[in-house]
Every structure is written in C-alpha cells, then in structure tokens.
Structure 1
Amino acid sequence: MPSLNQTRPQHTGLEGRIADLIAPGLESIGYELVRVTIMGKQTPTVQIMADRADQTQLSLDDCERISHLVSAVLDVDDPISSAWTLEVSSTGIDRPLTRVKDWNRFAGHLAKIEMDVPIAAGRKRVTATVLSADDTAARVKLDTGETVDLPHHDIRKAKLVLTEDLIKATETPSPPN
C-alpha cells in the first residue's frame, strides 16, 4: 500500500490545514485530493482540484459531490475566519504534479517546474522530462541531458506540458460498439 506521501499532496499553512481536513472525506467517497489553493484576501477563493480514485474522468456531478462534502467540512471546522467562496475542478490534461504518484504516472512526459531554490546553472524554472519520484524527490531529465533529483520541499509548482504525446496518453478509449 502506498504511503500518504505518495497519494496526497504536500501543503503547508492554511492550505495544509484544509487539505488535512478534507482529504479523508474525499477518499471515503472515491476521490483523491490533488491540490488546495487559496486565492485572494478579502473574500478568499478556496480552489480544490481532485481526481477520481478509479482514474476515470471527473464529471460535473463529481465536482458537485466534492463541493457539498468540502463545504460541509469547512463550515463545521471553520478554518477561514472570513467569508470565502469554493471552486472545485478537475486537473485537466496539463495537470499539476503534486503527488509522488502523479510524477510516476506521467514519467516520460514534459513538465514545467518552478523551484524555490536554483538548480541546473542557477535556474529556478525548467522544462524537463519526468522520470520518476519517491517520497523525497522527483527525478527529471533536463534539456541538457542531465538527470537531477528535485527535492519535493523545494518544488514551488510543477505541471505537465500539453503535448501530442500527453493527449494520446490521456485519451479516454472509445466504448466498444
């Protein structure tokens, strides 16, 4: 069984508190938390990005179900002292890479990565081919051919680059006739 580090995103601060509050409930009804983002100050928007645990495409009904669960949890636990709005969405094809399992699932595809600390010739932003990941780091191949390990705690954000190969890899097979 994979560790929680592999199946849940790592968040800090208020986003981490919200993730810790909602992830178990989402998992209990067949979803996986991909990302929590809080945008704005006066009336913050809590953005929840999720996947279906069975890896099928997230539907509008799924987003509605997730929204009801998250709203109920946040209303009870009240981690945000002011009024807030909730936005629930699927990951999309050019999804963020927030969990170890995402890095491993999309090995061989391109990702744009933004680091908190410089890597490779002092760059903080790179586009690289995803190779693999474990609990401590993501392994990527830079355009120079160099393979580097990027500690998860130093990755500010990472997302897949929309390419023909990625589209093909994520296409839903047509139902049999």
Structure 2
Amino acid sequence: MSNHVVSVTERLVQPILNEMQLELVDVQFDQEGSNWYLRVFIDKPGGVDIEECGQVSEKLSEQLDEEDPIDIAYFLEVASPGAERPLKTEKDFEKYVGEYVYMKLYEPIDGEKEFEGTLQSFENELAVVEIRIKTRTKRLEVPFNKIAKANLAVSFN
C-alpha cells in the first residue's frame, strides 16, 4: 500500500509543483504509533517558505480528496527537506558535489558501510567521498547502485 500511495501522491503533486516552479524532493508514507503520515518534501533554490508549503498542501489535499487513494486516516505534511536533505537521484548527487554528506550502503566498501564525508565528485554513476578516520583522510569510490540511503549532513568540525 505504501508504494502505491507514494506513486499516486508523486503523480498528483508534480503538476502543482511545476506550476509553482518547485522541486519534489521526496514523498514518504509512514506509520508512527497508531497514526499514518503522508509527508511531501519540496524545495527550490534558496529554500521554500511556510506559505509555499501551505499552498502546495491545500492544492494537493484537494487532489487527494478527489482521487481518494488512501483508505485510512492520515495526516498530510508538506515541508522543506531542511539541512539534512535526502539525496535520491543521480541529479541530486551531481548538484551537491562539494557538500558534506551521510551515506549508508547496501554492502561495505573498504570496510565502511555507514559514513560521513565530503562528496568530491559524481560521474558515471560513481560517487567519490572523502572521509576522515581520526587524523587521516580516505577516499571511497561508491557506485550509485550500492547506496541504500544518502543525505546532506551537518559537519561539526
């Protein structure tokens, strides 16, 4: 059900975002306790404000009510991805070269399965990330298809 809800939501929200010149970052349909949450993350260069989130929420809510793809009660949240924006597509990786990222892999590379570091480059489906291990740095070459999860991270160095 979750995948169906996500795909229907993506289809319904995309024209709204295109019209407002906003970008769809992610759609999640998750259960927390006894409640279900449909979360839509949107962005644009310079970030989105609360008013834009409200407009998208209102328009999307109308579309969801009309199509009615979800047969249980849920809360709709439209928000900015914030400082720890997920990186989902190859385009995201290309866009954020030079940024500090968190990655979790399906299988270890050079003994590392979960790490933070600076995204040095992304070309031909290969991310190069420079990580620090105590006092030295190490470069990892990570194939795009080995990345389970990635997002921008906040560095405390």
Using the TM superposition, give the Cα deviation of residue 114 of structure 1 relative to its aligned residue in structure 2, in angstroms: 1.6
Counterpart secondary structure, 1:24: helix
Q: TM-score, normalised by structure 1?
A: 0.71
Identity level (%): 26
The AA in structure 2 aligned to 1:140 is V
Q: Distance in 2 between matches of 1:20 and 1:122?
A: 39
Which of 2, 8, 23 aligns to 1:17? It is 8
Alignment of 1:101-116 (within 5 A): 101-115=91-105
1:161 is matched with: 153
Q: Structure 1 residues 93, 60: CA separation in 2 closer, same or farther (over 3 Å shift)?
A: same
Using the TM superposition, give the Cα deviation of residue 164 of structure 1 relative to its aligned residue in structure 2, in angstroms: 7.2
Q: Structure 1 residues 163, 33: CA separation in 2 closer, same or farther (over 3 Å shift)?
A: same
Q: TM-score, normalised by structure 2?
A: 0.79
1:140 is matched with: 128
Counterpart secondary structure, 2:91: helix
Q: Structure 1 residues 86, 21: CA separation in 2 closer, same or farther (over 3 Å shift)?
A: same
How far does the alpha carbon of each residue in 1:132-169 deviate from its partner, in whole angstroms, 9 at most, with x for none?
446x73512242533413324x433211121379xxxx
Alignment of 1:22-171 (within 5 A): 22-40=13-31, 42-52=34-44, 55-115=45-105, 117-133=106-122, 137-143=125-131, 145-152=138-145, 154-163=146-155
Aligned-residue CA RMSD in angstroms?
A: 2.6
For the 8 Å contact 2:29–2:37, the answer to whether it is kept is: yes
For the 8 Å contact 2:120–2:130, the answer to whether it is kept is: no
Which consecutive residues of structure 2, in runs of 5 or more, have no partner in the other structure? 132-136
Which consecutive residues of structure 1, in runs of 5 or more, have no partner in the other structure? 1-11, 166-177
For the 8 Å contact 1:139–1:150, the answer to whether it is kept is: yes
Greater than 6 Å deviation, 4+ residue runs:
none
The AA in structure 2 aligned to 1:148 is E
User: When the two structures are aligned, how many residues end up with a matched partner?
Assistant: 149
